[in-house]
Amino acid sequence: MNPRGALIPLTVVGVVVASADNPFGEPSSFIDPLSLPEACQRDLPFLQQLAVNTIRVYSVNSSLNHDQCMSTFSNAGIYAM
């Protein structure tokens, strides 16, 4: 919110890349993308170059740790949905 209490609009800029080969919407080779900190670090410069400010992650494995990737993207001003 700004000082007047009005909401500041958020414009989402991104790209959707998805492939599914089963009825649950996940490929049989599903790998949780937010559980791989080295992949998030690898991809960050490319996302920044494209001026992406939001990523949508379709599926995650809730038993895995996502802290490092979430921090990496948050520190770069990239929202995760």
- Domain map (residue ranges) of the chain: 33-80
Whether 55 and 31 have beta carbons less than 8 Å apart is answered as no
pLDDT for 70 equals 96
pLDDT single digits (tens) 28-47 = 677 888 999 999 999 999 99
Q: CA quadruple 78, 59, 69, 47: dihedral positive or negative? A: negative
Residues in the chain: 81
Query: What average pLDDT score do residues 45-57 get?
Result: 90
Measure the CA–CA gap between 60 and 2, rounded to whole angstroms.
Answer: 33
